[in-house]
Chains A and B, each alone.
Chain A
């Protein structure tokens, strides 16, 4: 299958638990950050974003935290469901006129029923 030979960092959680996915970004000048969810065989799907003038933003069942001091981003998913199983990517916007995104390596979230 698609995951054969794939060695992504993996987070395994029980259904109903909260999940926390972490990401370290590289450029202290980045001013906009996005979390994407990629299910098997599909394109990355926008989940939530945050700008550098904020340190927390909440969506439906998801929260993104930004710590600019240590260049760290996290995605918290409340009451994780089987449908949350996917690869999650953080991305940083390098700023400027091009809207260029640099993606992290991805974390595989596996939800156990």
Chain B
């Protein structure tokens, strides 16, 4: 049961433009969301998070938007840089029980930023 879904396997954008990565979830008990970035041969690194009490969180070039009624979140990268090329995962802590260490991840979106 894929409770966190990233329906776009890949995204290609031009340097300097906006990148928008999308994520949908089905479990309404999720109350916190995280985005991780992963380069080849490395582990995922934390990028930005958002609590369900907010609808937006910003950190430099990265902004995450949360639409609870639509069970949808998106990550905006402005402006996009070639170094942003990586796989992006959205994730949520397990809901409905103990969540120690347990994140539910989406399938990931491969972002390619062309110079």
- Whether A associates with B in a native complex is no
